[in-house]
Amino acid sequence: MHPTVTFLARLAISCAALTPGARATAVPMHEPPLLSSVPAGPEGDLIRLGHKLVTDSAEASPEFAQNGLKCSSCHLDEGRQPWSAPLWAAWAARATEGSFPEVVDACYTSAMGAKKGPGPTSRETVAISAYSRFLAGGLKEGVSHEGRRLKMIPGIKEGTFDSPRADEKRGEAVFVKECVACHGADGAGNDAAPPLWGSRSYTSSSTMVMICCSSAFIKSFMPKGKADLSDQDALDVAAYVASQPRPAKGGDAKGDQDIAAMVKYYTRLAKKFIKQQLYSVQKNYPSLFQVLVNFFGVSPF
């Protein structure tokens, strides 16, 4: 597959391209600077705008933040919280390769319900980048620091969509007992907590639908204020939440899973497979390959 296509396919299913997370080390956790230390002037204004876009997304960018979420619904504590995909760590890790703006743009469509993202050079992306760089406060760039991404539940690999260990039925009971009080019986959220599914929640292309990410987030931070679920309960309730309807990417709030995107993805995989087979026929049975080319009248490549 062409590298650009591979890259786009990865972006399409996730908010962030998944790479191995930070290894546990004895390095002390980064403490981002306080917002009150942002200087006056245009650079300071840009940082403050970035903060507003992250924490008050619908107010600051109504044309792009189109559901019931803020960036900080998931990037907790205004993007500061370690193991909640903190923005400072994302900035530090991605600054040298330059992928930060693309990921922000992808998050607008996959997590925030935008039909189309603002683009990697937009006012929104530039301001969120400035805010994230400010939070990073001079952290070494090009490094995946301690506290980046999410803390996976032991035995659950990063990039896992689903797990045989997770039981959606048991998860329903956990949900009723532990989550309904804030997120509501219909998961639709309210003033106290954001929506977990339904037309105002993240799309089926968000990384949050992957069992690895949602179980990690829930285990570390939910129920809010007393995150005390067992690994099993966190996995089960994550599977239950993932089984509920949510919008497809592109703002089409049909409330069903993004079947069209999955069909496209598997068609691409199938095409790649067929192409590989044809290559090996060409290599190992050149005369048979020539017969095929003559028969169809065109080369398959």
Give 37-40's long-range contacts (Cβ < 8 A, gap of 24+). Answer: 38/134
β-pair partners for 248: 252
Interface size with ligand HEC, residues (CB under 6 A): 53
Taking alpha carbons only, the member of 71, 84, 103, 108 closest to residue 203 is: 108
Query: Interacting stretch for ligand HEC, rule CB under 6 A, among 1-9, 29-37, 194-202, 281-289?
Result: 194-202
**Residue of the chain from 193, 211, 239, 242 that contacts ligand HEC (CB under 6 A):** 193
Only one of the segments 200-208, 258-266, 271-279, 290-298 lies at the binding site for ligand HEC (rule: CB under 6 A); that segment is 200-208
**Contact status: 127 vs ligand HEC (CB under 6 A):** no
Output phi, psi for 150, to 5 deg. -120, 155
Minimum CB separation of residue 164 from ligand HEC in Å reads: 20
Q: Which amino acid is at 301?
A: F
Sort 270 into a burial class: Cβ within 10 Å, 0-12 / 13-18 / 19+.
exposed
| Omega prior to 223 cis, within 30 of 0 | yes
Interface with ligand HEC (CB under 6 A), residue from 11, 13, 16, 248: 16
Task: Note whether 224 binds ligand HEC by CB under 6 A.
Answer: yes
Q: Would you give the distance in Å from CA 27 to the centre of its chain?
A: 26
Asked if 166 touches ligand HEC (CB under 6 A), the answer is no
Q: Interface residues for ligand HEC in 37-96 (CB under 6 A)?
A: 54, 57, 69, 71, 73-76, 85, 87, 89-90, 93-94
Q: Does 148 bind ligand HEC (CB under 6 A)?
A: yes
The identity of residue 122, as a single letter, is: S
Q: Tell me which stretch binds ligand HEC (CB under 6 A): 15-23, 254-262, 274-282, 290-298.
A: 15-23
Q: Is 160 in the site for ligand HEC (CB under 6 A)?
A: no
CB closer to ligand HEC out of 202 and 289: 202
Distance CA 265, CA 167 (A): 26
Considering only 82, 101, 120, 194, the residue that binds ligand HEC (CB under 6 A) is 194
Choice between 91 and 289, CB closer to ligand HEC: 91
Q: Considering only residues 78, 146, 168, 178, which one is a binding residue for ligand HEC as defined by CB under 6 A?
A: 178
Residue 272 near residue 1, CB atoms below 8 Å = yes
Is 38 or 216 the residue whose CB approaches ligand HEC more closely? 216
Q: What CA–CA distances, in Å, run from 230 to 10, 67, 83, 293, 299? A: 31, 30, 17, 59, 56
**DSSP letter string over 223-252?**
STT-----HHHHHHHHHHHHTS--PBTTTB
Helix count and strand count (H, E) for the chain: 13, 0
**In 3-state terms, what secondary structure has residue 78?**
helix
CB-CB neighbours of 257 under 10 Å: 18
From residue 128 to residue 147, what is the string marking binding to ligand HEC with x (rule CB under 6 A)? x-------------------
Interacting residue with ligand HEC among 1, 8, 176, 181 (CB under 6 A): 181
Binding site for ligand HEC (CB under 6 A): 15-16, 18, 54, 57, 69, 71, 73-76, 85, 87, 89-90, 93-94, 100, 103-104, 107-108, 111-112, 128, 148-150, 178-179, 181-183, 193-196, 201-202, 206-208, 213-214, 217-218, 222-225, 229, 237, 241
